[in-house]
Amino acid sequence: MENLIKIKKRVERLRREIDKFRYEYHVLDKPDVSDEVYDSLMRELREYEKNYPDLRSSDSPSQRVGGEPLKKFEKVRHKYRQWSLDDAFSFSEVKKWEEKILRILSKKNPNIQYSTLPTGRQVSKNYLEYCCEVKIDGLKIILTYENGLLVRAATRGDGVIGENVTEQVKTIQSIPLKLNRPVDITVVGEAWMRKSYLEGLNREREKENLPPFANSRNAAAGSIRQLDPKITAKRRLDSFIYDIDEIEIKSANQNLKVPETQVEELELLENLGFKVNKNHKLCKNLEEAEAFFISWSDKKDKQEYGIDGLVIKINNNKLQRELGYTGKSPRWALAYKFVPEKVTTIVEDIKVQVGRTGALTPVAHLRPIQVAGSTVSRATLHNEDEIKRLDIRIGDTVVIHKAGDVIPEVVEVLKNLRTGKEKKFRMPAKCPICGGEVKKETIHKDTKKQNTKNIQDTKYQIPDTKLSAAHYCQNKKCFAVEKENIIHFVSRKGFDIEGLGEKIVEQLMNEGLVSNVADIFELKKGDLEPLERFAEKSAENLVNSIDNSKKIDFTKFLYALGIRHVGEETAVLVTRNAKRVTQNEISDLADIIKVFPKISAEGWLKIKGIGEKSAKSLSGWFNSEENIKLIKKMRDLGVEVIFPKFQISNFKFQNLSFVLTGEMESMTRDEAKEKIRALGGDVSGSVSRSTDFVVVGKNPGSKYDKARELGVKIIEENEFIRMIK
């Protein structure tokens, strides 16, 4: 009962906040938040109302299609309700929509087998087709013509009642006042403003101390809602028309016919004199629709008008009528939106995780939400300073951001949604795992010299120090640190031991079977079989996987050790230059045990590309007697390290730097990196002026844009394949 009361209060607060945002956006034309934040809050509200139907009410923002009309305009009732579209943000959601459509059609017509058409096949009447159109981010307008003459233009309003904006819409040059044929027709489309014109308009508004429009859609809405049509005319709006609500063809137009498909509707609209967006495609299946969607994810920002996704419609009008509508949306159409970079959710808890370096990182445990194509339930809060900056509390509603494959992070707290029951968070004084002391580390920077007469006197050298932002567990044997070390050790980029995931590692540590990375190689089938989650076969599989991992390239071995500040690239540099630095032939673990402890930080610094932090870490790690014992134990248990025998003559990529972006078809990104390194090249995670090549796959990210901006040579996958052959 108490839980339901809390949910009811949450729903009421959401409604108030959404309605406030809606009023600022649709009525005042002064949005306070982005569309992404508004949509995210609305989705949360709809989810509550779906799960708790008794909380649904007719005045809920979720029951609206648009917003309240401005009272200064004449209200008009639409003959046909103006529906909103259901949203999808991933291809899996689109597939589920199609599955639902097929189920509905099969129920209505049990004797007909409905499905989509494989690419290349001819259409038969029982196959679905999809008309896919770019989704214009403008202001929806409904135009009514009688005998071919424009008699009324209205905004969508709340979907039932809109605003009469006929005089304002007449100023849009692309909207015909008289059609090419004398038909009675009601059509639907979007009014929009060119981005290039918007830039100039905003400069003028700033000169007049007026707030700039956030985007071209807001500018179009503000322009249409000007009471004086002369102001609207100055805004030079444009339009795209894409739907027919109703059409009656006069007897004088016998050569015209009522469209039977959405594609035919678009053709008829164009023939009647409307401006129709050319960027639509008839797709025989959703795979073709997905390819069309992906192609526009790259092109959308280069257009003069805003595009926020793709509208997928069942092409056959008869099937549209059979599918009908839900309470607010057509079943036969879907808005497939480009993934939002910002969404809202709730911080259900803040917990501290301990990494393999001993660093304590506060992590927000979130109510699961989809953003940028994946479901997010956690977001790093970095450190105590970041928590104070955001003033984030347990129970807060927050905005999270995730672009591409970047780790999600909290960017804003919506404090207006606070109830007063939110809890402040404080970093623990003791490690939450082992109970050890926690403190910030002292960072020693370069020594600076006082401006004195005796500048060589060391007593005047004052170390420039400060405390780290992160807190660290001081117990080197902390369970969490050891666990993270082992997880890192067995990961794909390390020993790649299949079947040894986080939960199994924790189980083995709890049972006392594994306390460090070397213990893994002592595991026997009989050790595992009595444990929960293990049977004879799974125990045998894990032991085999461990045995198969014992022969490993030195680069992966060094990475697996988890030495601080030693990642993939540093491991590659050490592998290539080990012989030069040690002045010895390094071929196995025995050589490493014998030679590496002798190398000082200054010795490691001789390798180009290795910095001071990495050099100190390498020196410190290999000069630890405990760590050398660990390597000896691995050697004695059969671990064999392979050093590549690089041939200088084969280093065709020597001194060349590569950056990879997007999905590759012929190989994985990791395989591509290995091929580049094997040919003497370097792989970087970011683009700079010193980058030689950016290799571009499908759906490239911001690295592609950065390369274009800096003039770095961009090569596609097929050219890269030719280079490595």
The per-residue pLDDT for range 213-223, each reduced to its tens digit, is 767 777 888 88
Residues 402, 372 contacting (CB under 8 angstroms): yes
Higher pLDDT, 285 or 209: 285
pLDDT of residue 59: 66
Question: pLDDT tier at 243 (50, 70, 90 boundaries)?
Answer: very high
What's residue 218's pLDDT? 79
The whole-number pLDDT of residue 708 equals 84
Q: What is the pLDDT of residue 121?
A: 47
pLDDT: is 165 or 68 the higher one? 165
With pLDDT > 70 as the criterion, what percentage of the chain qualifies? 88
The rounded percent of the chain whose pLDDT value lies above 90 is 29
Q: How confident is the model at residue 58 (pLDDT cuts 50, 70, 90)?
A: low
Span of 85-94, 231-240, 645-654 with lowest mean pLDDT: 645-654
Buried b vs exposed e over 256-284: b needs ≥16 C-beta within 10 Å? eeebebbbbbbebbeebbbbbbebbbebb
- How crowded is the C-beta side of 349, counted as CA atoms within 13 Å? 5
SS3 state of residue 488: helix
pLDDT at residue 462 greater than cutoff 50: no
Tokens (6 digits) for 663: 């999905």
Q: How confident is the model at residue 66 (pLDDT cuts 50, 70, 90)?
A: very low
Write the CB contacts of 392 (distance below 8 Å, at least 6 apart in sequence): 347, 350, 364, 381, 398, 410, 413, 425
pLDDT tens digits, 619-658:
999 999 999 999 999 999 999 998 765 434 446 787 788 9
CA distances from 165 to 72, 171, 222, 398, 535 (A): 11, 10, 12, 38, 72
117, with CB counted inside 10 A (0-12, 13-18, 19+), is middle
- Residue 666 belongs to what H/E stretch? none
pLDDT score at 694: 93
Q: What's the confidence (pLDDT) of residue 23?
A: 61
How many C-beta neighbours within 10 Å does residue 45 have?
22
Please choose, from the candidates 445, 443, 446, the residue with its C-alpha nearest in 3D space to the C-alpha of residue 472: 443
Task: Check pLDDT > 60 for residue 565.
Answer: yes
| pLDDT on residue 251 | 65
Greatest distance between any 2 Cα atoms in the chain: 106
Q: Specify the pLDDT at position 517.
A: 92
Name the pLDDT band for 340 (thresholds 50, 70, 90).
low
Which pLDDT score is estimated for 72?
66
Which pLDDT score is estimated for 67? 47
Q: Report pLDDT for 447.
A: 40
The predicted pLDDT at position 211 comes to 75
| 158 conformational bin, left if phi > 0, alpha if psi -120 to 50, beta if neither | alpha
pLDDT score recorded for residue 370: 77
User: Would you state the structure tokens that stand for residue 114, as one six-digit string?
Assistant: 């409905």
State the pLDDT at residue 130: 95
How many CB atoms are closer than 10 A to CB 502?
12
Residue closest to 29 by CA, chosen among 85, 60, 68, 1:
68
Q: What is the mean pLDDT of residues 534-545?
A: 86
pTM score, whole prediction = 0.50
More confident residue, 651 or 690: 690
Q: Which pLDDT value is given to residue 648?
A: 40
And the tokens for 329? 């949306």
Which regions of 51-129 does DSSP assign to beta strands (E)? Answer: 75-77, 87-88, 115-116, 127-128
With cut-offs at 50, 70 and 90, classify the pLDDT of residue 455: very low
**pLDDT above 50: residue 460:** no
Known catalytic residues are 135
**pLDDT band at residue 123, thresholds of 50, 70 and 90?**
very low
Among 118-132, 196-210, 422-436, 545-559, which is the least confidently predicted range?
118-132
Average pLDDT of 446-472? 51
What is the mean predicted confidence (pLDDT) over 243-265? Answer: 84
In the structure, what pLDDT confidence band is assigned to residue 458 with cuts at 50, 70 and 90? Answer: very low
Choose between 558 and 20: higher pLDDT: 558
**pLDDT > 70? residue 254:** no
pLDDT for the residue numbered 418: 92
Cα distance between residue 153 and residue 681, in whole Å: 63
**DSSP helix/strand/coil, 189:** strand
- In this predicted model, what pLDDT tens digit does every residue of 566-612 receive, in sequence order? 888 788 888 878 777 777 777 788 888 988 998 999 889 888 778 88
Q: What value does the mean pLDDT of the chain take?
A: 83
More confident residue, 677 or 132: 132
Which of residues 313 and 371 earns the better pLDDT score?
313
Instruction: Give per-residue pLDDT as tens, 414-446.
Output: 999 999 999 999 999 898 888 888 888 766 554
Q: For 98-119, what is the mean pLDDT?
A: 79
Instruction: Please give the Cα distance from 441 to 454 (Å, whole number).
Output: 32
| Residues 189/98, Cβ–Cβ less than 8 Å | no
Structure tokens at 625: 């007697």
Indicate whether 453 pLDDT > 60. no
